[in-house]
Amino acid sequence: FSVLNNTYSVKINIHMMWKVPSNILQRRVASSAWSRVAGASCSGTYQLPTTSVASSSQSNANSSSIFYNNGTPQFTSMHTMRHTSTTTANNENISEVGDGYLGKILNAKVYEVAIETELQHAENLSQLLNNTILLKREDTQPVFSFKIRGAYNKMASLPKSSLDRGVVACSAGNHAQGVALSARMLGCRAVICMPLATPSIKVNAVRDHGGEFVEVRLVGNSYDDAAAEAKRCQIEEGLEMIHPFDDEHVIAGQGTMAIEILKKCVSQPVDAIFVCCGGGGMLAGIAAYVKQVRPAVKIYGVEAADAAGMTASLAAGKVVTLPSVGLFADGAAVKTVGTETFRLCEKYVDGMVTVDTDQICNAIKLAYNDARVILEPAGALGVAGLKKHIEENNISGKTFVAITSGANMDFNRLRVVSER
């Protein structure tokens, strides 16, 4: 299946069931809109922008397209499209629908370093909760966390002049590892600012992933303290800030998880997805994609009860700053959520769930029973929120997805987890 215009060509492999009238075949598309969905893995029903169609006389034997007569293609059955190769002539988005995030997510440059992770059926957890539970195994990424997606997508989008100057990031650990690995792959200098309370396994991993390209600076007791130092580096040293969540490229990178989830669930229903929330980048990205592709799927954010910044902000109708945050789920310990992530979450997220330390510890154990992996506290938030939601609402017979977002567990915390 090929789409051609005067400046470039696109190859697309199509694997789907698609009801298309025969009279709309053998057409040529004179727009880049189709190239922009070449990487899509979509389910449900959504509509692309109006696109001009060249006359049938321009068609040739080696080119065929599926297109509606009115110039507006529409997906009307669940399907999957897998990207093979694409070279675009410009950087326009598919459309402005959903703030343009559909296009940003579909074009995110994550697979040069990230992997498409497994959507694992959690048999024991499913039996315990009397529902079908699927775990999106982001703990199996090269840095054992989803953060590599957003970090690399942001850095890969920077001009060479910015990469030559270097980048700076503040992180509780997982974003830092993503930036460090991205810096090494792109060959640029990176300064990583981390809170003093960051587990040693994460600090050492940052140094290992980044090698000679990375300088680690331990500053303050919270993410916000580290953020202040990173801001100073940005201003005084001219480094490019790689924000861990409040950036459209980072949000889009995290949103690629939603593409993979819906692609794997073409032949089965998904009732809700439970997503860890710290600053809100992953939650915003997943929600922005899912609600445009399969809007019936519910999206729930999950926060630690002592670090529930998004919950408080959504309740107040504006971004609020928490006076303090608990550090047990250090990967999601953020006092102030992002402005852009809040805007997207307010628009797309169906609800928030808060869980306490005991519930997080229980979720770590439950995930271990199925996945044989020890999730870090923040990485188990999705499982903890899913379990709480099911039990409080007495739900059975549904299909739920939980993101297991990270496994950079500090060994010294295992005793605390087992005792709780």
User: Cα–Cα–Cα angle for 192, 195, 197, nearest 5°?
Assistant: 135
Q: Give SS3 for 274.
A: strand
Do residues 275 and 92 touch, judged by C-beta distance below 8 A?
A: no
167 bridge partner residues: 190, 240
Q: Is 159 exposed, middle or buried (0-12, 13-18, 19+ CB in 10 A)?
A: exposed
3-state SS, residue 100: helix
Catalytic residues: 147, 405
DSSP state of 221: S
CB-CB contact of 374 with 368 (8 Å): yes
Q: What is the largest CA-CA distance in the chain?
A: 74
Nearest one of 149, 96, 348 to 256, comparing CA atoms: 149
Bridge partners of 132, per DSSP, are: 399
| CA–CA gap between residue 17 and residue 66 (Å, rounded) | 13
Name which of 168, 153, 337 is nearest 245 in CA terms.
337
- What distance in Å separates the CA atoms of residue 19 and residue 21, rounded to the nearest whole number? 7
What is the DSSP code string of 289-336? HHHHH-TTSEEEEEEEGGG-HHHHHHHHTS--B-S---STTGGG--SB
